[in-house]
A and B are shown apart, each in its own frame.
Chain A
Amino acid sequence: MAKTTHFGYKEVDVEKKQGLVKGVFDSVAGKYDLMNDVMSMGTHRLWKNYTISSSNVKEGDHVLDIAGGTGDLAIKFRKKVGPEGKVILSDINGSMLLEGRKNLLNHGVIDVDFVQANAESLPFEDNTFDCVSIAFGLRNVTHKDAALKQMHRVLKKGGTLLILEFSKVENKTLEKIYDLYSFNLIPKFGEFFANDEDSYQYLAESIRKHPDQETLKNMVLDAGFEFCEYHNLTGGIVALHKAIKA
């Protein structure tokens, strides 16, 4: 019997998930930034700023932004690493990379490298990066354990991993409001703004299937990181896991 995994609330063959996720992001790529602003009411920018603040990145550093999509983090990292540093924006999805390239050009950022790569098999040498980030991408990865091990592998000793991802809301009342919002309004926003209700239904479902804060922390530690802690943002709607390779 074929192994299965979740795709939102649906159980699908493991081999099929990657293609299905690709379909979602091919569909939403053009409206990705607009939808992020609409869905989070702009808050995603604060979450990303907090991530950058926590990164400990300095001039001359090498940074890999996985599932970097439209390049929000890459633009900010680029400023921090200075002319001696290096930023690579990677994404498994070609459409998202294309949007990222456009977005960076619009911001006047030209010195970022683009690599189309699967997080489960990163095409980089061991101990290459001072910081690896993945924002709102890990929940779409089929084999998260494998991806986390790869992130550990490509980080230098003393390198930092940052995972910004939707998580488990701490407060029960907020959780109810959030459920109502994400299952009723988000798909409707998707239909209205991007003419795509199904993709945004998947996004809402995939958030609920993603490991909670403690589970993800243990997965990160199991991948080989010596230190990992998380910070809940907006009541746990989003959590930032910060891990260090020692």
Chain B
Amino acid sequence: MFRLTIEKSLNHLINANNIDLTHIDNKIVSFRVDEIDLTLFFLCLNSRIFVIDNQQNKKVDVSVTLSKASFLAIFKGASLEELVENEEIEINGSVNTAQQLANLLSSSSIDIEELISQYAGDIVAHQIGQAFRQIKKASVGNDGSIINTIKDEITTALIAPSRSKIFKGRA
């Protein structure tokens, strides 16, 4: 739903304003936001944008790696060149092509903060579910007591926090 919302907003913008996409035609631009484990692949074909997951691993023309803050800044019109100069993002490929797409994103009416909070919420829910499954699985192997397993899990978590907790500490 996350990708579909962005795709629909971009194409609405393109159609409503008759935006010419020839300069990014047949190109794939990716945006990778490590903090929230999000990668969006934008494919431009047939005068429209597709937001895909690129499971087929097609060659990407431009890849942009950035922080969540920089990603949000792009939607507010931040210049990629400035972000690169400030070492806030990394671009492999044509900055110009990436900027064309960034311009589209900033002109769209996407409420990216809301979308990201929903997406991040999904990740948290996924992590909770995963932890519960691990606890359930581990309890079968131990003495069968879920309480003891939860205690073990909490101890483990305190000794070796997960990646998401480390990121939270840094922020």
Say whether A associates with B: yes
Question: Of residues 121 to 159 in A, which have CB atoms within 8 Å of B's CB atoms?
Answer: 130, 156-159
B30 CB, min distance to chain A CBs, angstroms: 14
**Is B15 in the interface zone, CB < 8 Å from A?**
yes
A-contact 0/1 string along B38-61, CB 8 Å cutoff = 000001011110101111101000
B43 contacts A244, CB within 8 Å?
A: yes
- Chain B: CB-nearest residue to A228: B56
A246 contacts B11, CB within 8 Å?
A: no
A13 CB, min distance to chain B CBs, angstroms: 36
Q: How far is the CA of A157 from the CA of B4 in the complex (A)?
A: 20
A-contact 0/1 string along B110-130, CB 8 Å cutoff = 000000000000000000000
Out of B8, B53, B56, which one reaches A226, CB within 8 Å? B56
Q: How far is the CA of A130 from the CA of B45 in the complex (A)?
A: 11
A-B contact count (CB 8 A): 42
Q: Name the B residues within 8 Å of A43 (CB-CB).
A: none
A58, A221, A228 — which one has the most chain B CB atoms within 10 A of its CB? A58
A52 CB, min distance to chain B CBs, angstroms: 11
Q: How far is the CA of A62 from the CA of B45 in the complex (A)?
A: 15
A54 contacts B4, CB within 8 Å?
A: yes
A246 contacts B43, CB within 8 Å?
A: yes
A226 contacts B7, CB within 8 Å?
A: no
B58 contacts A226, CB within 8 Å?
A: yes
B55 contacts A157, CB within 8 Å?
A: no
B55 contacts A156, CB within 8 Å?
A: no
Q: How far is the CA of A156 from the CA of B55 in the complex (A)?
A: 22
**Is A179 in the interface zone, CB < 8 Å from B?**
no
Q: How far is the CA of A58 from the CA of B43 in the complex (A)?
A: 17
Measuring CB to CB, which residues of chain B are less than 8 angstroms from any residue of chain A?
4, 7-8, 11, 15, 26, 43, 45-48, 50, 52-56, 58
Closest CB pairs A-B (n = 4):
A158-B46, A158-B45, A58-B15, A229-B53
